[in-house]
């Protein structure tokens, strides 16, 4: 296998040939949908008048919740979210009406002619305030290992504090959107920009009041998802489908950027309390934390995100007794949702803050405490899984040696002692991330492989390509298993009619799950071909048939057959050249009553070393370098995997440093455009970004031993927060700067001069 292949889609992306939802040629009669959304964050709808708007030229019809043919409900885990608001609104941007028009402009104009009267209700945007009032989205969760209370009783050195981590806008290049076509027999076909085609199918069927068999969802690719389209694509698809279904005309629903930013949920902000206890040798002997998750106005995926926070509460550390509690708090902001890391980063920020707090109080480098407590084989996670194939220490040690940690420390203190207005800081950030959906049931996938009579191959799976390169990996796996060139393979769209009951492309697990299903389908076809060869050659059933570069080898000896003649022979002999593969991750389980089990197929490890320079007059900073040792397993596609690590790091740095989601007290999103919401650009990325491949060879549940790579690297970005904070303290050792992310230049400036 060529593990330097790269992403086969790249040439089409950069030449603009790749097709996204809004690029699909429109069918005659296509209608455009504009959503009329709530102007206030909480209230009772007293009256609404759209009679004038409906009379405007080009406006076809305006739909309210009364027009929903089935159930007015799009909640995924918990049914608590109407598609269109009925009598009450719960956040600014909540959809109330659908304006359907012949052009986008007519629909837009109509919004100005709608009058609505809403009686205001109290607005809560802060999760602790929601918790105090008992406003929870789902039952609270608690993971306990050992007896924390006893441990703290015996412990002389302990520290308590509070942390805040902010939201994060997904800012996928392609906004949300769907295009729905009516089909005969009360059926609809939907082109959707979704990570979860089956979630869209299920939600649309529910909203239309029809069986899932009447709804076909098709996905070519997404221009980015990052979790934002794991669940939240469903609403837009349901709107388009409802209009197409009722009016029997094609309908498109694609929000503009500012509509998307205002109406969709983001990464869940967290407010958390921690208590960490240590002994004199810097061993962590107890850890306790409580997380207040800002879930927004509906549950969405927040209950599952809450769970992953607990799974990653102790990051890469082995801590004897642990007690962590998480609350999902209901507030009047758009329902927050999945975002790369899925609650893991939020949990890791808290323990890293706790360790940093302890280190500062004890007068040592945080790295001393971090390194001392890294976990190892045989340790037990707070949720009961035993640590195996642990690479935590190996990654740390290799990062410290390779990037010359001791030398860096000396250079930084030399720099800081001869510069008054520029200060450098550094940090180490170890990461341990569990691979598998925490909901065991979701860890399954299927693939449909067709071999055509000319030897070419079509592959369909449940995986959604969103830039992460999963299609390339599946082509590599099919090519390897069939012994043919990747040029003979086409990755088909992800379609619910071809491959049913799919899990969303999420949890870093998409390549593992779907490639394994492809392997299974290919193996079935190969088995049939092998038996055919034994028949043709009049050899026994035990022959070994291998295919390499389309040449057929029988028991290691090249035969006169090649791939094409083999396939043609099979067709003549009426042998099935198609197969459906299935994969379900073995071994995993989790008991939600006991909160114990073995939820993850394996873990991914790594360590990042981050160096920054802070301008102590302006509060601005530069990320000098991020140097990482990352556990790839045995990468099957190094350019693709490297891209995931680099992108993840930059996205993580963005979350921790500059991306600030701001709602005011009345629940209005102030950071509602790219002028007010800053994401990393070419000027703000690390000057040096070095990724060292730690090749580990011992994991059989990763596809071809090539470990999942989507989410783990995002958490290296947490290192940037601590590096900047350390530079601030180098300037002002008495600074009262709090553990609040993002650490924007504004916060840095205040911290530099805070007494
Ligand atoms: N989605 C999900 C996820 O439904 N379950 C998960 O465990 C998960 N983990 C990461 C990202 N998305
Ligand atoms: Mo994701 S946060 O893996 O959709």
For 77-102, write each residue's pLDDT tens digit. Answer: 999 999 999 999 999 999 999 999 99
C-alpha pair distances (Å), 216 with each of 189, 450, 499, 667, 701: 5, 20, 11, 37, 32
Q: Are 241 and 253 in contact (CB under 8 A)?
A: no
Q: Is the dihedral of CA 142, 147, 151, 154 positive or negative?
A: positive
Alpha-carbon span 301 to 203, nearest angstrom: 14
Alpha-carbon span 286 to 665, nearest angstrom: 37
Q: Are 458 and 579 in contact (CB under 8 A)?
A: no
Nearest ligand to the CA of 195 is 2
Alpha-carbon span 749 to 523, nearest angstrom: 61
Per-residue DSSP letter, 378 = T
Q: Are 429 and 608 in contact (CB under 8 A)?
A: yes
Atom from ligand 2 closest to the CA of residue 195: 4
SS3 352: helix
Indicate the top mutation candidate among 308, 433, 513, 592 to test ligand 1's pocket, ranked by most ligand atoms within 8 A of CB: 308
- pLDDT given at position 671: 98
Which residue has the CA at smallest separation from atom 6 of ligand 1? 437
Centre of ligand 2 from the C-alpha of residue 381, in Å: 22
Centre of ligand 2 from the C-alpha of residue 226, in Å: 6
Centre of ligand 1 from the C-alpha of residue 436, in Å: 8
Helix (H) or strand (E) holding 641: helix 638-657
Helices marked H in 283-419: 302-311, 344-362, 366-372, 392-402, 405-418
**CA neighbours within 13 Å on the CB side: how many for 134?**
0
- pLDDT given at position 695: 82
Centre of ligand 1 from the C-alpha of residue 414, in Å: 44
Helix (H) or strand (E) holding 190: strand 187-192
Centre of ligand 1 from the C-alpha of residue 294, in Å: 17
**Cβ of 195 less than 6 Å from ligand 2:** yes
For the chain, list the domains and their CATH numbers: 10-121+176-254 (3.90.1170.50), 270-438+592-752 (3.30.365.10), 444-584 (3.30.365.10)
- Considering the chain, what percentage of its residues have pLDDT values greater than 70? 100
Indicate the top mutation candidate among 168, 228, 231, 304 to test ligand 1's pocket, ranked by most ligand atoms within 8 A of CB: 304
The residue from 352, 391, 660, 711 that is catalytic is 711
Alpha-carbon span 619 to 244, nearest angstrom: 53
Of 244, 256, 242, 182, the C-alpha closest to 34 is 256
Reading the block at residue 579, the tokens are 């197969």
CB-count burial class (<10 Å; 0-12, 13-18, 19+) for 136: middle
Of 426, 425, 424, 482, the C-alpha closest to 449 is 482
Which residue has the CA at smallest separation from atom 10 of ligand 1? 507
Q: Are 708 and 482 in contact (CB under 8 A)?
A: no
Give 695 or 481, the one with higher predicted confidence: 481
The neighbour count for residue 242, using CB atoms within 10 Å, is: 28
Nearest ligand to the CA of 308 is 1
**Cβ of 342 less than 6 Å from ligand 1:** yes
Alpha-carbon span 385 to 368, nearest angstrom: 26
- pLDDT given at position 449: 98
- pLDDT given at position 99: 98
Atom from ligand 1 closest to the CA of residue 437: 7
Let me know if 711 is a catalytic residue: yes
> Which residue matches tokens 């099957």?
636
| For residue 696, pLDDT beyond 90 | no
- Per-residue pLDDT, averaged over 701-715, amounts to 97
| For residue 667, pLDDT beyond 90 | yes
- pLDDT given at position 699: 72
**Cβ of 437 less than 6 Å from ligand 1:** yes
**Cβ of 630 less than 6 Å from ligand 1:** no
- pLDDT given at position 725: 98
Indicate the top mutation candidate among 300, 309, 342 to test ligand 1's pocket, ranked by most ligand atoms within 8 A of CB: 342
**CA neighbours within 13 Å on the CB side: how many for 141?**
25
Q: Is the dihedral of CA 718, 720, 723, 728 positive or negative?
A: negative
Centre of ligand 1 from the C-alpha of residue 403, in Å: 33
**Pairing assessment for the beta strands 187-192 and 251-253 based on DSSP bridges:** unpaired
Which DSSP string do the residues of 666-734 spell out, in sequence order?
TS-BS--STTTS----TTTS-SEEEEEEEE----SSSGGGB---SSGGGGGGHHHHHHHHHHHHHH-TT
- pLDDT given at position 568: 97
Q: How much is the mean pLDDT over the chain? A: 97
Alpha-carbon span 424 to 411, nearest angstrom: 9
Centre of ligand 1 from the C-alpha of residue 310, in Å: 13
Reading the block at residue 709, the tokens are 């790579």
**Cβ of 515 less than 6 Å from ligand 1:** no
- Per-residue pLDDT, averaged over 148-155, amounts to 96
Alpha-carbon span 26 to 42, nearest angstrom: 38
Of 265, 385, 274, 237, the C-alpha closest to 335 is 265
The neighbour count for residue 216, using CB atoms within 10 Å, is: 20
Nearest ligand to the CA of 339 is 2
Of 219, 242, 196, the C-alpha closest to 98 is 242
Which residue has the CA at smallest separation from atom 11 of ligand 1? 507
Which residue has the CA at smallest separation from atom 3 of ligand 2? 506
| For residue 641, pLDDT beyond 80 | yes
| For residue 448, pLDDT beyond 90 | yes
Those residues with Cβ within 8 angstroms of residue 54's Cβ, 6 or more apart along the chain or in another chain? 61, 62, 110
Atom from ligand 2 closest to the CA of residue 339: 2
- Give the pLDDT band of residue 233 (cuts 50, 70, 90): very high
Which residue has the CA at smallest separation from atom 4 of ligand 2? 227
Q: Are 402 and 629 in contact (CB under 8 A)?
A: yes
Nearest ligand to the CA of 439 is 1
**Cβ of 231 less than 6 Å from ligand 2:** no
β-partners of residue 462 are none
Q: Are 264 and 256 in contact (CB under 8 A)?
A: no
CB-count burial class (<10 Å; 0-12, 13-18, 19+) for 394: middle
- Per-residue pLDDT, averaged over 519-526, amounts to 98
SS3 114: coil
Q: Is the dihedral of CA 701, 705, 706, 711 positive or negative?
A: positive
Centre of ligand 1 from the C-alpha of residue 309, in Å: 11
Of 376, 399, 314, 469, the C-alpha closest to 630 is 399
Of 480, 461, 467, the C-alpha closest to 8 is 467
- Considering the chain, what percentage of its residues have pLDDT values greater than 90? 99
Atom from ligand 1 closest to the CA of residue 307: 7
- Per-residue pLDDT, averaged over 621-629, amounts to 98
**CA neighbours within 13 Å on the CB side: how many for 444?**
11
- Give the pLDDT band of residue 64 (cuts 50, 70, 90): very high
Atom from ligand 2 closest to the CA of residue 504: 4
- Give the pLDDT band of residue 485 (cuts 50, 70, 90): very high
Indicate the top mutation candidate among 200, 300, 309, 340 to test ligand 2's pocket, ranked by most ligand atoms within 8 A of CB: 340
* Angle formed at CA 264 by CA 261 and CA 266, multiple of 5 degrees: 90
From its phi and psi, is residue 389 left (phi > 0), alpha (psi between -120 and 50) or beta? Answer: left
pLDDT in tens, 397-406: 999 999 999 9
């Amino acid at each position: 296998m060529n593990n330097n292949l790269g992403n086969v889609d790249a040439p089409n992306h950069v030449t603009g040939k790749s097709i996204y939802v809004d690029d699909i040629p429109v069918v005659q009669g296509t209608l455009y949908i504009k959503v009329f959304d709530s102007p206030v964050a909480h209230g009772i709808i007293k009256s609404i008048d759209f009679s004038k708007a409906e009379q405007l030229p080009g406006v076809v019809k305006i739909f309210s919740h009364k027009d929903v043919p089935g159930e007015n409900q799009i909640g995924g885990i918990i049914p608590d979210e109407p598609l269109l608001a009925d009598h009450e609104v719960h956040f600014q941007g909540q959809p109330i009406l659908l304006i359907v028009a012949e052009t986008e402009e007519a629909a837009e104009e109509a919004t100005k002619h709608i009058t609505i009267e809403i009686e205001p209700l109290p607005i809560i945007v802060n999760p602790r305030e929601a918790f105090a009032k008992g406003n929870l989205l789902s039952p609270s969760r608690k993971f306990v290992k050992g007896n924390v209370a006893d441990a703290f009783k015996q412990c002389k050195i302990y520290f308590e504090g509070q942390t805040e981590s902010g939201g994060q806008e997904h800012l996928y290049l392609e906004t949300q959107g769907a295009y729905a076509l009516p089909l005969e027999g009360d059926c609809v076909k939907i082109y959707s920009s979704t990570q979860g085609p089956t979630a869209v199918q299920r939600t649309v069927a529910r909203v239309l009041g029809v069986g899932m068999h009447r709804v076909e969802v098709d996905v070519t690719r997404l221009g980015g998802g990052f979790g934002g389209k794991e669940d939240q694509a469903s609403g837009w698809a349901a709107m388009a489908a409802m209009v197409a279904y009722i009016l029997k005309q094609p309908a498109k629903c694609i929000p503009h950027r500012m509509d998307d930013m205002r109406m969709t949920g983001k990464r869940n902000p967290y407010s958390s309390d921690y208590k960490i206890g240590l002994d004199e040798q810097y061993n962590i002997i107890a850890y306790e934390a409580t997380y207040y998750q800002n879930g927004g106005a509906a549950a969405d995926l927040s209950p599952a995100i809450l769970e992953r926070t607990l799974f990653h509460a102790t990051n890469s550390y082995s801590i004897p007794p642990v007690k962590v509690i998480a609350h999902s708090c209901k507030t009047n902001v758009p329902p927050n949702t999945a975002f790369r890391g899925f609650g893991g980063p939020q949990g890791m920020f808290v323990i890293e803050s706790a360790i940093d707090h302890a280190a500062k109080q004890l007068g040592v480098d945080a790295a001393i405490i971090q390194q001392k407590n890294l976990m190892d084989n045989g340790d037990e996670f707070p949720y009961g899984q035993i640590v195996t194939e642990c690479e935590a220490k190996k990654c740390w040690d290799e990062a410290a040696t390779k990037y010359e940690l001791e030398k860096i420390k000396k250079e930084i203190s030399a720099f800081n002692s001869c510069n008054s207005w520029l200060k450098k800081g550094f940090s180490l950030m170890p990461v341990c991330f569990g691979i598998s959906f925490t909901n065991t049931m979701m860890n399954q996938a299927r693939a449909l492989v067709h071999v055509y009579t000319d030897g070419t191959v079509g592959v369909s799976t449940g995986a959604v390509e969103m830039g992460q390169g999963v299609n390339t990996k599946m082509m590599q796996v099919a090519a390897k298993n069939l012994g043919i060139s990747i040029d003979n393979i086409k990755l088909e769209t992800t379609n619910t009619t071809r491959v049913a009951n799919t899990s969303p492309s999420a949890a870093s697990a998409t390549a593992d799950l779907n490639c394994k299903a492809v392997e299974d389908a290919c193996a079935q076809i190969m088995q049939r071909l092998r038996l055919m060869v034994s028949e043709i050659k009049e050899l026994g059933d035990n022959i070994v048939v291998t295919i390499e570069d389309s040449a057929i080898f029988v028991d290691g000896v090249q035969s006169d057959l090649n791939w094409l003649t083999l396939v043609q022979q099979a067709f003549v002999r009426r042998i099935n050249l198609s197969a459906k593969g299935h994969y379900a991750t073995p071994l995993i389980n989790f008991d939600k009553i006991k909160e114990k089990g073995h939820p993850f197929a394996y873990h991914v490890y790594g360590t990042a070393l981050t160096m920054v320079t802070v301008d102590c007059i302006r509060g601005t900073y530069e990320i000098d370098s991020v140097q990482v040792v990352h556990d790839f397993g045995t990468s099957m596609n190094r350019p693709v995997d490297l891209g995931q690590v680099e992108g993840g790091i930059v996205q993580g740095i963005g979350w921790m440093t500059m991306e600030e989601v701001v709602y005011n007290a009345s629940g209005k999103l102030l950071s509602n455009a790219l002028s007010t919401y800053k994401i990393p650009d070419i000027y703000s990325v690390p000057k040096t970004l070095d990724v060292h491949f730690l090749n580990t060879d011992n994991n059989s549940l990763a596809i071809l031993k090539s470990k999942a790579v989507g989410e783990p690297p995002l958490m290296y970005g947490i290192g940037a927060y601590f590096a900047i904070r350390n530079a601030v303290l180098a300037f002002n050792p008495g600074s009262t700067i709090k553990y609040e992310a993002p650490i924007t230049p504004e916060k840095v400036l205040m911290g530099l001069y805070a007494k």
